[in-house]
Chain A
Amino acid sequence: MAGYFSGVGVVEGVVSPWYNRTMLVAKNRVLQILLTLGVFLLVGYAQYMVFMVVPNEQVMGAVQRVFYFHVASALACYAAFGAVFVASLLYLSSRERRADIFAVAAGEVGFVLCTVVLITGMIWGHSAWNTWFRWEEPRLVTFLVLWLIFLSFTVLRNFGDPTKTAVHGSILGILGALSVPLVYISIKFLPQSARLHPEVVEHGGLKAPSYWTAFGLSVAAFMFLAALLIWLRYRVGVLEHVATEALLDEETYDA
């Protein structure tokens, strides 16, 4: 036991895979710091554009700035859910452990982003429509359902059968991703007294160039932030897996 966690990683003179991977992690640290700095600079610049450069919108005023976070996090959330779907498919077809760890990472980051979308949407809604939530509005309900699917995915990962979590989580990931379009279609056909959600981009909104620059930067910042978070969570997942394997090896060796 002492061998592994004192940093030696040697069992009977054989260098364990855990030790090799730990060395690889150390080599990647510089890259990690650089990437993190780059993403934070991009996020900071996007914040500067949103709060200091873009003028106040005429009707909504300062609350309109929520739009840049809301739409950007929604797009990043969709991307994360897409990543869960692809990684789950890859895991089921190849049983490659890294694909499963990636699916977990994307699922958790997607859940956080989905929460951001819901909260920013509610802030906007309360200011624009004088209500926190509208059940007639397809996009709001779709995101709420998406949030619930991510929630159940996270619950399964934490409370499912530990020996089969990877397979079961992958199946739920695929099922969830395939259900989302159906949920969206079904909500769109619900009777609506008034569809409130603004369709800014579809209707040619954002006339001033600074709006577009800030919007593009926000989307890029959230996409890169999501990718960075997924990557960091993936690395934590790999280390967890390696540590678990090392413990199992140690127990086998002791026995």
Chain B
Amino acid sequence: MTWLRVVLLLCVKEARVELRGREFATLLLCNSIIIAVLVGAGVSSAVLDGRVTARVFPMLLWLVFLLSATTSVARSSESELEGRGFEGLLLAGVTGSQMYLAKVIVTATLFCLNFWVLCALLAAALDQNLSSVWSQLAVLGALASCALAALVTLLAGIAGTSRLRGVLIPILSLPLLFPVFFAGVEMTSDLVTLGGLRQGSVWPVILVAAGSLYGLVGVNLFESAIRD
């Protein structure tokens, strides 16, 4: 059995666990909707005009996305940590890197879907037209979701056994996510105002570099984080 095939099987396992319980996806979507509605109501109360709303839209989008993702992700490792699933997989010869990669793939997929829903939701709430840049925004969401999943999967393994896991993951991850946040806001801002990225923009590089760094650390240290 090749290394990648094990990762693929673990992905299927992760997806099945999620499909059976639907806890992580439901929590993620509910959090996104609630925070997005609150943001929409707040902006409406502040009586911001259309131009100001367009300027703050990228920041609000990424704030809601990162907050909802980091507050929901504790559920993603819950079943393994409660049922000692990690130990079982390690005993079966599966490496920490394989488990980490499988978790990142599934988590990133859910984050990405959530980002797309959130874009539509916030665009409707704040009256923004994103139809012309939809495809570019979708690619940006996919890239950012990978970087975000690479970091929070590792941190979910770290904070998962703490009794404060629900609040610990956002506290640990948000300071480290600043490059992703800046890159997301700047690129979305370019897309919304200019209709495309500025020439020579460094933000895609920063986003990929952040994702690669988190992934590299996660692949190497995830096993240490979950092993007793």
A156 to B176, CA, bound (A): 14
B154, A171: Cβ atoms closer than 8 Å: yes
**Nearest Cβ distance between residue B56 and chain A, in whole angstroms?**
14
B221, A156: Cβ atoms closer than 8 Å: no
- Smallest CB gap from B203: residue in A: A189
Contact bitstring A183-213, B, C-beta under 8 A = 1, else 0: 1011101110000000000000000000000
The residue that A189 contacts in the complex, of B206, B214, B221, with Cβ under 8 A, is B206
The reply to whether the CB of B162 lies closer than 8 angstroms to some CB of chain A is: yes
**Nearest Cβ distance between residue A107 and chain B, in whole angstroms?**
13
User: B110-118, B126-134, B177-185: which lies at the A interface?
Assistant: B177-185
A8 to B67, CA, bound (A): 54
The reply to whether the CB of A79 lies closer than 8 angstroms to some CB of chain B is: no
Number of interface residues of B (CB under 8 A): 31
Assuming the A-B contacts A145-B175, A186-B178, are A179 and B224 also in contact, with contact meaning beta carbons closer than 8 angstroms in the complex?
A: no
The residue that B176 contacts in the complex, of A160, A175, A185, A187, with Cβ under 8 A, is A175
Can you list 14 A-B pairs with a CB-CB distance of less than 8 A?
A152-B176, A155-B171, A159-B162, A160-B159, A160-B168, A164-B225, A167-B224, A171-B221, A175-B214, A175-B217, A179-B179, A182-B210, A189-B206, A191-B186
Which of B158, B186, B228 has the most chain A CB within a 10 Å cutoff? B158
- Smallest CB gap from B160: residue in A: A161
B-facing residues in A116-154 (Cβ within 8 Å): 145, 148-149, 151-152
Chain B residues positioned under 8 Å from A182 (CB to CB): 179, 206, 209-210, 213
- Smallest CB gap from B175: residue in A: A148
A145 to B155, CA, bound (A): 18
Q: Would you call the interface of chain A mostly helix, strand, loop, or mixed?
A: helix
Assuming the A-B contacts A149-B175, A187-B182, are A172 and B158 also in contact, with contact meaning beta carbons closer than 8 angstroms in the complex?
A: yes
- Smallest CB gap from A182: residue in B: B179
B175, A161: Cβ atoms closer than 8 Å: no
Chain B residues positioned under 8 Å from A248 (CB to CB): none
A187 to B175, CA, bound (A): 13
The residue that A161 contacts in the complex, of B162, B178, B186, B214, with Cβ under 8 A, is B162
- B interface, CB within 8 angstroms of A: 151, 154-155, 158-159, 161-162, 164, 168, 171-172, 174-176, 178-179, 182-183, 186, 202-203, 206, 209-210, 213-214, 217, 221, 224-225, 228
**Nearest Cβ distance between residue B209 and chain A, in whole angstroms?**
6
A151 to B154, CA, bound (A): 18
A156 to B172, CA, bound (A): 8
Chain A residues positioned under 8 Å from B228 (CB to CB): 163-164
**Nearest Cβ distance between residue A22 and chain B, in whole angstroms?**
31
The reply to whether the CB of A168 lies closer than 8 angstroms to some CB of chain B is: yes
The residue that B154 contacts in the complex, of A161, A175, A186, with Cβ under 8 A, is A175
Number of interface residues of A (CB under 8 A): 31
A174, B221: Cβ atoms closer than 8 Å: yes
B224, A92: Cβ atoms closer than 8 Å: yes
A172, B172: Cβ atoms closer than 8 Å: yes
Assuming the A-B contacts A156-B159, A156-B172, A186-B182, are A168 and B225 also in contact, with contact meaning beta carbons closer than 8 angstroms in the complex?
A: yes
Chain A residues positioned under 8 Å from B214 (CB to CB): 175
Chain B residues positioned under 8 Å from A11 (CB to CB): none
A168 to B213, CA, bound (A): 18
Minimum-distance CB pairs A-B, first 3? A148-B175, A161-B161, A186-B179
The reply to whether the CB of A176 lies closer than 8 angstroms to some CB of chain B is: yes
A176 to B217, CA, bound (A): 11
**Nearest Cβ distance between residue A157 and chain B, in whole angstroms?**
11
Chain A residues positioned under 8 Å from B206 (CB to CB): 182, 185-186, 189
**Nearest Cβ distance between residue B129 and chain A, in whole angstroms?**
24
Apart from A160-B159, A186-B182, A189-B202: 4 A-B pairs, beta carbons within 8 A: A149-B176, A160-B158, A164-B225, A164-B228
A161 to B157, CA, bound (A): 11
Chain B residues positioned under 8 Å from A232 (CB to CB): none
A104 to B158, CA, bound (A): 17
- Smallest CB gap from B177: residue in A: A179
The residue that B158 contacts in the complex, of A92, A163, A168, A187, with Cβ under 8 A, is A168
Chain B residues positioned under 8 Å from A149 (CB to CB): 175-176
**Nearest Cβ distance between residue B166 and chain A, in whole angstroms?**
12
A171, B213: Cβ atoms closer than 8 Å: no
A171, B176: Cβ atoms closer than 8 Å: no
The reply to whether the CB of A178 lies closer than 8 angstroms to some CB of chain B is: yes
Chain A residues positioned under 8 Å from B213 (CB to CB): 178-179, 182
